[in-house]
Amino acid sequence: MGVRGPALRTARTALRLSRDLQLGVAGVALVLDLLAQNEALRSRLRREGLA
C-alpha cells in the first residue's frame, strides 16, 4: 500500500520546496505549517461567508 491523498500531496510539496527553493528540513517544515494555517484560515472565511 502506497502513500495516498493528503500525505502524498504534502510529500510532493515538501520535495518541491526542498528542490526548487533549496530549503532544508526546518525550512520545509515551516513552509508546510504556514501553508496549512493559510488553508485553515481560508476554510474558516468560506464557512463564515466572507470569502
Distance of alpha carbon 39 from alpha carbon 33, whole angstroms? 10
Average pLDDT over residues 26-43: 98
Rounded to the nearest 10°, the torsion over CA 37, 15, 6, 42 is: 30
Residue 2 has a pLDDT of 73
Judge contact between 14 and 33, C-beta under 8 A.
no
Helix residue ranges, H only, the chain: 5-20, 25-47
Distance of alpha carbon 38 from alpha carbon 47, whole angstroms? 14
* Nearest one of 35, 43, 41 to 13, comparing CA atoms: 35
Q: How confident is the model at residue 20 (pLDDT cuts 50, 70, 90)?
A: very high
Percent of the chain with pLDDT over 90: 90
What are the residue ranges spanned by the domains of the chain? Answer: 8-47
Residue 21 has a pLDDT of 97
